[in-house]
Each structure stands twice: as C-alpha cells, then as structure tokens.
A and B are shown apart, each in its own frame.
Chain A
Amino acid sequence: MSDSKYRFSPAPSRVGWMLNRRQVLLGGAATVGLVGASGLLAACGDDDDDTSGGGGGGAASGTLTFGSNYSDEKPKAAMAAAIGAFPNKDVTVNINTVDHNSYQENITTYLQQPDDVMCWFAGYRMRFFAAKGLVGDISDVWADFTTLSEGFKTASTGDDGKQYFVPFYYYPWAVHYRKSLFEEKGYKVPATLDELNALAEQMKGDGITPFAFGNDGKWPAMGTFDMINMRTNGYDFHVSLMAGKEDWTSDQVKQVFATWTDLLPYFQTGGNGRTWQEAANALGDKSAGMYLLGTFVTSNFDPSKDPTAQEIIDDIDFFAYPAINPEHGQDAVEAPIDGFMMAKSPKNEAAAKELLGFLGTADAQEAYLKVDPSSVAAASDADTSGYSPLQKKSAELVGKAKFISQFLDRDTNPEFASNVMGPALADFITDPSKIDTILTSVEEQKKAIFG
C-alpha cells in the first residue's frame, strides 16, 4: 500500500483498488500456484500450454533480458505470469527484478546498461529519455495494436511523433463521492463548473464540506491544478505548459487559479498538513461530499481492520471532473500509466519487439490481472468479468477519453515538479491572494530549470 512518504504521486503498481474478500482469495491462490509454476518456467520454459493467440508469428528466438521493478511479492508473481504467457517458446525471457524505489531513483544510471525490455511510466518521464536517445523506437510494434485507444497512443508517443512505450495498466483520477449521501440529499452529479459550484453551495448549506482535501507530500494539489487546467485550456496546452514552453504568468494560467480561488472556500481548510488518507476518511464518514483523487482512494479503507470499510468501498462512486470550457468538454482524463520501454540497442531486438507486442495485448494483461487483480488493463478487449464496479467504470472512463494525461509530476521535469510546483501550489493554498507573486517566481524558476 502506498504511504505518504513519497515525494511523487504513487505509481499505479504501488496502489490499487481495495479488493473484496473473494478477489483477495483468488489472487492469493493464484500467487501460490505460480510460485510452483515459475520454478518450472525457469527450468524449461516450455511447460505452459496456455498459448491462446496474442503476440505474433514467433519468428524470434534466443534469450531476452527483462528489467522489472515489480518487486513486491504479488506484482512480482503477476509479472512472471504475464511473461510466462508469452506464446513464443523459442525465446527465453530472463526477468531481472529490482526494488521498486531503487529502480526509480537509479533509472538514469540503469539506462546506461539496460535490459532489452524494461518497465517504466508513460509521460514526460518517458519522453525525456526518448528525446535523449536512451530508449528504442517501437513504432512498428504499435502498428499492430488494435485494442489500445487513441489516448494510450498519445501517451506513448515521444516528442518526435514516434512511439517508445507500451501501456500495461493504469489508475484514473476522478471526483469520488458516496452514492448513499447523494441519494439521501438529492444531489446530482455535476457536468459543468456552474453545476459544481451550485452543488458545493448546496452541500455547504447542509453542513457538509464540499471537497475533501489533503496536500501532504505536496503532490495531491497538482491533481486539482491539472484538472482545472485541462478543462479550461485543453490537453495540448497542458502538455506544452509541462514542457516549459508556456508562460506561467499568462492569462490562461491565471484563469486556472482564478477558477480555483473561487472553489477554494469549499475545500477542507488546512489541507497542506493533511495526508490523503486523512482526507479520504472525511469522505468515508460523509463529513465531506466529494474528493478528487486517484481511484486508489478506496485502498484507504481496509475491510480486514474495519468492518464498515467494505460498505464504504461499495458505496464509493466517481464522476469525471466537470466541464469548464465547452471547447474541451471532458475530453481529457488523468491516468498515470505503467508499462514498458525497449532499450536503445537491445541485444535481441526481434524478440524484444515481439514481447512488447504481446505485453500490449489483453492476453498478457489478463495473465497479470489473474494474479494481481487490483489494476485495470490497458487493452480494451481485456476480460472485465473479474473487475469491481469501480474498475469497470475506470476502464470506461479511460477507454472513451480522447486524451490521457499522466499527472503533473509525471508530465514534466521532476525537478520542476517537486522543487517548484509543489511548493508553489502549497503557497497558493495558504494565501490565494498572492498568486501573482507566486506565478512570477514559478516562471523565473521554470526558466532556470528548463534553461
């Protein structure tokens, strides 16, 4: 489970949906089954008769190295299952697992001598390495993908228009609420900013804090900024702003903060010192009405510790952030994606591309989800029968999105995100009237960092 010690928003592989008991048992059983199976896989590699379609013609052969940051027990077993389902048995895949945090901290060193295929995130953190020529172009692999939406393709594309990334799974950000509270008070899911304001006002009148908010770690507020920005100025502006190409003192950015300033009185006060878990508790006990966060919000409620938690989890639903500018509507959704990249010059390129082609399909993702069912597969034809209602809804939300953004701290230079934007947004929340001074200094610091 994710805790609050990270300086960045949690990776999809670190957080998931809190599962109901049945799923946990299923996953556990599969893990146990796999421990035995993976020994066999390592030994002979052809003991698996589950070759149901997928990947390709099986032209490649030889050995392939696979760098994995799926270091926790269950994800590790799940990844082994996904790789084990690779239909081309002429290729031996050696999985090289590294602790999740060390992998992330040392990625730049690792890329000097990488494995053929490696795990990483979509967004700027991928584009940055692509632009430096540290990872391989896999556009031809993408030509064969039919079940990945346009949004995933955009999220996998580098600055030069070529693809460098294969998405695996994700979690979306959305506004969470309690269904029972909305029913009881007769609230309606807002579709526009005006409706959102009206709803917030109504909740306030009922003695409910409209928005739960905790900004400990300084990344949660970035989600609110991203949503208001993309609804106001669109996805393209978001990308260009994150790439350091737009002026932070521009009217577009000021408009975002003006909208936010109007909404701020509806937020839980003192958000800077509150963890997202504490804010989630406010949603749980219905003292707050709505909460914009990743769908991992449900993982705060643990049925094994609190008997009422399952009831809360089943009662939580979400809606896409309301439209602000009709031109952009609700066309963008924020959904950090985990996936894979290929080394710049892999030792076995044919096998690497074949494996990447396979990992982008439902077969690989289902094999993974069978063991670790807490995520949502990227492929649109993946079997959703094991999903919770919230997972199904996530798949729908992301599947129909025109644009998928990756969250501010994944869509921009990490130094800019953690050393400039985090503190700036915290300053804004403390005193929104200082926004002009704050943005002037953000612009200066952006210039110093992006050079």
Chain B
Amino acid sequence: MATPTSTVPPSAAAPPAAAGKRRRLSQISGRDRLILVVMVSIPLLLHLLLVWVPAIATVVLSFTEWDGLSSVSDIAFIGLKNYWEVFTVFDNRFFPAVFNNLFLLVFLFFGPTALGILFAYLLDKNIRGTRFYQSVYYFPVVLSLAVVGIIWKSVIYSPSQGLVNTVLGRTAEGNQIDWIGDQEKVFSFPLPGLDFDLGLSKNFAAILVAMAWRHAGYIMVLYLAGLKSVDPSLREAASIDGCSEWQTFRRVVFPTMKPINVVVLVITVIEALRAYDIVAALNTPQGMELMSILVTNNLVGEGGGNVGRGSAYGTILLVMCIGFIIWYLINNYRQEP
C-alpha cells in the first residue's frame, strides 16, 4: 500500500526538473530502454493479472447468479438483485458486519494504535529494561491473528477454565461470563428502515481486546524505528525553547514523523478492513460478523456456491477500501504540491 504512494512525489515533481522530455529520453540507450520496459511491464502485468482482473471480475460477477460449479455459460445476469438482497433480505447479517468493520477501524485507531505510539515513545527514552519491554510487547506480533484468537479463546476467555473468569472467581456453573458467546449489546442504536438495533456486542468487544494485544506491539515497533531516526538536535532545540514533553512530541517529533504516521494510518485501516482470521478461527460466533466473513461464507466450501452474492459483498468491501485510498491520496497530493 505504501510503496506506490512513495513513488508518486518524484514522478509528480519530474516535469519541472526535466527541461526537455525528448532530450532526457535520448540519454537512455536502446538496451537500457529495453531493460526498463521489461522491468516495468512484468510487474505491471502481474499486478493487473493478480489484482485488477480478479477485482473487476468480482464486480462483474456481483451482477450475476452462478453456483460456481456449472459451466461458465450458465452465468446469468440478474442486474442489481444481489445488492437488493444484501441490503433488504440479508440486512441482519450485512449491516452488523459493516458496523463491526467500521467500529474496529475507529477502535484500532484510538486504542491500540495510540497505545503503540505511547509505548514506542516511552521505550525510545532508553528506560531501564527497554529491550525486555520491547520483546514482551512485540511477542504477540509474531503470532498470526488466528492463533491469537485460539489462545485468547481457550486460555483467557474460556468460561469454565479461562484466566479471566478464574481471576474474577466466576467459573462456577450459572455464574460464568461467556466472553466469546455473549452477543448481547454493550450499546446499540436504531437505524431507520432496520427492524433491529445496530451496536457493539459484548463478544466482539472482548475480541477487540485480543486484537489490540497484537496490534499495539506492531505499531510500537514501526514507530520505534521511526523515532530512532528523528534528529536528536530537534528535541534539544525544543527543550531549550522551553517546550513541555507533550509540546515537544505534538509540535516537533510528530510532524517530523510524517512518513511513519502515514504508514501507521494505512496499516491500521488495512488491518481493520481485512480482519478475518481471528473471527474465522473462533468459528464466527454470532455478533462478530465481518464483511470478509460474509464474502467467504458465500463463496467457499459446502455452504458456499453463491458466487453472485459473495461477489456483491466483496464489491461493497472494495468500495469501502477504495474510499479510504482515495481520501488518503487526495490528502497526500494536497499537502505536497
């Protein structure tokens, strides 16, 4: 995600630098040009083939009805029916999924991302045992989210044997807290046109904590690497000018960290929208619907075979992602003229 954007400024800045397009090109020999063409076109073709062809095929398939098994000639175009069904018939699965994805985004941003930055900032101060803390916070990152889910489910959240219930003394039958299964809402609000309330269910809230456990470490490492590269003289200057700790960070360190901030933001958005494995590993308990779960449930396995509707969910997810990408690109262009 970050790579294409980092190449944008140079190419945008190129025209004024080159006096004449023709003269600049003529400096490249025939052989160089061939190599350039090959080196650009192969990744480009692969990119088109592996990313954009499937993406566009998904969009096209979302307007069709097909079981994914019969021959391709059986694909029937049915217009917007899949979307109509997603928004009206399967509304009690779709809207909670969108809500969960968006809530996850907001939560990751204000929760573990902020926390990760705080950890990084503190560890950057070379406090005693900094390496130890780094290892501890980074440890969960080496685990896949699916594994994180299984660990939290069986070790921490298990109703009868889990750590939390044991510590709280609530492992007795009838007194247990069902962390992964309880789909009652923490808060909820009605939405016009829906015959159910949208809201954050307790089990999804519980799993957010598990995701935060991993995400905070991830962001911490990224940010720590960035902080090491900040010129120490900037901080010295700030402190000589009488800045408080917070002012130094807010006015001096944070702005100079812009490239890292962008990476962190992008990673947070991606993590929120692609979330899948942790919930799938937990058997998709009710209350934890996510867009990517809806996509796979309709496409894969014995319960799948509904290519049209699965693709419609996929297309909606694509639109959500593209929304963030466009917003990000616009912001980036505007600030670097």
| A, B from the same assembly | yes
Given A270-B182, A273-B159 in contact, is the A441-B283 Cβ separation under 8 Å?
A: no
Q: Which chain B residues border A444 with CB–CB below 8 Å?
A: 88-89
Min C-beta distance of A203 to chain B, whole Å: 12
Chain B interface SS verdict (over half): loop
A387 to B290, CA, bound (A): 46
Contact of A270 among B85, B181, B301 (CB under 8 A): B181
CA–CA, A211 to B42, complex, Å? Answer: 63
Within 8 A of B (CB), among A411-450: 414-415, 417-419, 423, 426-427, 430-431, 437, 440-441, 444-445, 447-449
A341 to chain B, nearest CB (A): 16
Asked if A73 is an interface residue, CB under 8 A from chain B, the answer is: no
Check if B302 sits within 8 Å of A104, measured CB to CB. yes
Which of B105-113, B219-227, B303-311 is near enough to bind chain A? B303-311
A273-B285, A437-B195 are known contacts. Are A417 and B303 too (CB-CB below 8 A)?
yes
Interface residues of B in 129-165 (CB under 8 A from A): 157-160
- Bound CA–CA A417/B91 (angstroms): 18
A374 on the B face (CB < 8 A): no
Per-residue contact bits, chain A 266-295, to B (CB 8 Å; 1 contact, 0 not): 001111111000100110000110000000
Residues of B close to A423: CB separation below 8 A = 93, 286
Question: Which stretch from B3-11, B33-41, B172-180, B236-244 is at the chain A interface?
Answer: B172-180
Q: Could you tell me if A215 and B174 are in contact, using CB atoms closer than 8 angstroms? A: no
| Interface residues of A, dominant DSSP | helix
B74 within 8 A of A: no
Interface string of A100-133 (1 = CB under 8 A from B): 0000110111000000000000000100000000
The listed residue with most B CB atoms (<10 A of its CB), out of A209, A269, A273, A449, is A273
Q: Which residues of A contact B100 (CB under 8 A)?
A: none
Partner of A272, one of B69, B85, B178, B304: B178
Cβ of A346 within 8 Å of any chain B Cβ, yes or no, is: no
Q: Which residues of B contact A288 (CB under 8 A)?
A: 173
On chain A, the residues within 8 Å of B177 by CB distance are: 270
Residues of B within 8 A of A415 (CB): 298, 303-306
Segment among A2-10, A168-176, A375-383 that sits at the interface with chain B? A2-10
Cβ contact within 8 Å between B90 and A445? yes
Q: Which residues does B use to contact A, with CB under 8 Å?
A: 69, 85, 88-93, 157-160, 173-174, 176-184, 195-196, 203, 283-286, 297-298, 300-306
A-B contact pairs, 16 of them (CB 8 A): A216-B283, A216-B285, A218-B283, A270-B181, A272-B181, A274-B178, A414-B301, A415-B298, A415-B304, A419-B297, A419-B298, A423-B286, A427-B183, A430-B183, A431-B184, A441-B91
Given contacts A7-B283, A105-B301, A448-B89, 13 further A-B contacts (CB under 8 A): A4-B283, A108-B69, A218-B286, A270-B159, A270-B176, A273-B180, A414-B302, A423-B286, A427-B286, A430-B286, A441-B91, A448-B90, A449-B306
